[in-house]
A and B are shown apart, each in its own frame.
Chain A
């Protein structure tokens, strides 16, 4: 069995700086060494009750405290639940049978992260530490890196950066909050040399001249489709740096990194695989993956007889590359935030006078995709203020990125060939 997180970071020099952040109270810079982290985690371990050894919920309050908890509980508790932020309702945590006090405290913990389900209700997805650290690289030079943390660490994207930094013995700079320029200022002041963000956030950073002065050696793009023009621009700005874009299926807990400077991934992966991952594309252009371990029972409906999982990601094959097109289910990705069209449609249909509606994604050069809608009025409805009423209702019921940027009034909705409502990505 793989060693726990705490055992894996004990090999780093104790004096090396693991975390750096600004104290929100007085703005002073606080530095935490690896030695301080391991000492705090060991203390915390001694306080764990037998009950907590089964399931432990980790609410996020502060970065150091959160990381110390991860170090303390991994390998001791059967399940770690990383609670999402307060405005999301945490789904009910299933109980996992855990270790008893008589057993040695060395078990393989499951890490649960809240993700959006098909109905828009968050659900827990379990991962092993091995799955979460699949794309972590621990080369000798990687301990010299200084990672910028630009996503909350209880989210998949943020957690990956935290684990990458901890396991490679690098430093981590907290830049999760504030306006873009302010966050770039924190990254610059902290001497960040490695940064991982969604393509949309990279574009935001590119609006500032501060990005170009960051001494970046490692650039990672993930969570959204990385397009060629963005990759080319970043390569132009940081010609010496290693640039990679990550494809990860959060649900499946598998992924891979592409670092050849081109969008998509090489077509040869379909024949040769990628390390221990096998890939295939079906007639409907869905990408299927098969990892070294079988997929969990919650994904059983999407696994074929050969053990491949339907990622439900649509791809296009060119002579050399496999390019990503979007989600087959029609889920819209607005700058890394997933929007379920059905959920938005339900809200629009609540407005009196709306007979039918269709919500779909429109491609955006800035945020990847934006939400747009078409609607049909019931007969006898005065349509003069219908769009205004729908818009107002959406403002009240939905988060900003979920609100359609356009409401188009139609005589009838277009139907797909199958007779089902069209959900194609435009």
Chain B
């Protein structure tokens, strides 16, 4: 999967989950969007990570020895890119 595809997949997933979780996203969500101000609350965020785990087959946050949490949407995508590369190498 290319970086652009992953970026697109995560954003689509974010929009679907926001609807399911009854969260009003502060559109447009850009790379600079601060996650805590995106409109997605902790439940919505947990659902997003669970949904991406189903789609991609991994959850970076459960694999971290020391938990690091992203601040912006770009940070979030960056973590998935990093772990995707790791999983592709397995």
Q: Give A residues with C-beta under 8 Å from B.
A: 179-181, 200, 203-204, 206-209, 227-230, 232-233, 236, 334-335, 362-367, 370, 395, 400-401, 405
Per DSSP, chain B at the interface is helix
Whether the Cβ atoms of B69 and A200 lie closer than 8 Å is no
Q: Which residue of B lies closest to A369 (CB)?
A: B46
Most chain A CB within 10 A, of B43, B47, B61, is at: B43
Would A335 and B46 be within 8 Å (CB), given that A208-B36, A229-B64 are in contact?
yes
Report the Cα distance A227→B20, complex, angstroms.
28
Interface centre among A179, A181, A208 (most CB of B within 10 A): A208
Q: Kindly list chain B residues whose C-beta atoms are within 8 Å of the C-beta of A200.
A: 42
What A residues does B69 contact at CB under 8 A? 203, 206-207
Q: Which residue of chain A has its CB nearest to the CB of B47?
A: A405
Tell which of B42, B51, B71 touches A367, judged by Cβ atoms closer than 8 Å. Answer: B42
Given A232-B66, A365-B49, A405-B50, decide whether A400 and B71 contact each other with a Cβ distance below 8 A.
Answer: no
Q: Please indicate which of the listed interface residues A181, A366, A405 has the most CB atoms of chain B within 10 Å of its own CB.
A: A366
B interface residues, tally (CB under 8 Å): 25
Q: How far is the CB of B55 from chain A (nearest CB, A)?
A: 13
- Contact check: which of A207, A208, A364, A395 meets B50 at CB < 8 Å? A364
Complex Cα distance A236/B36, Å? 22
Give the A-B contact count at a CB cut-off of 8 A. Answer: 67
The answer, among A204, A229, A233, A236, for a CB contact under 8 Å with B42, is: A204
For the complex formed, measure the closest distance between the CB of B42 and the CB atoms of chain A, giving whole angstroms: 5
Q: Are A362 and B50 in contact (CB under 8 A)?
A: yes
Complex interface: chain B residues within 8 A of A208 (CB)? 36, 71
24 contacts between A and B (CB under 8 A): A181-B36, A203-B42, A206-B69, A207-B36, A207-B69, A229-B64, A229-B65, A229-B67, A232-B65, A232-B66, A232-B67, A233-B66, A233-B67, A236-B66, A335-B42, A335-B46, A364-B50, A365-B49, A365-B59, A366-B61, A395-B22, A400-B43, A401-B43, A405-B47
B7 to chain A, nearest CB (A): 19
Given contacts A204-B42, A366-B46, 6 further A-B contacts (CB under 8 A): A229-B66, A230-B67, A335-B43, A370-B47, A405-B20, A405-B50
Residues of A within 8 A of B66 (CB): 229, 232-233, 236
* Given A200-B42, A364-B50, CB of A207 within 8 Å of CB of B67: no
Which residues, 49 to 75 on B, are CB-close (under 8 Å) to A?
49-51, 59, 61-62, 64-71
Cα distance A208–B75 when bound, in Å? 12
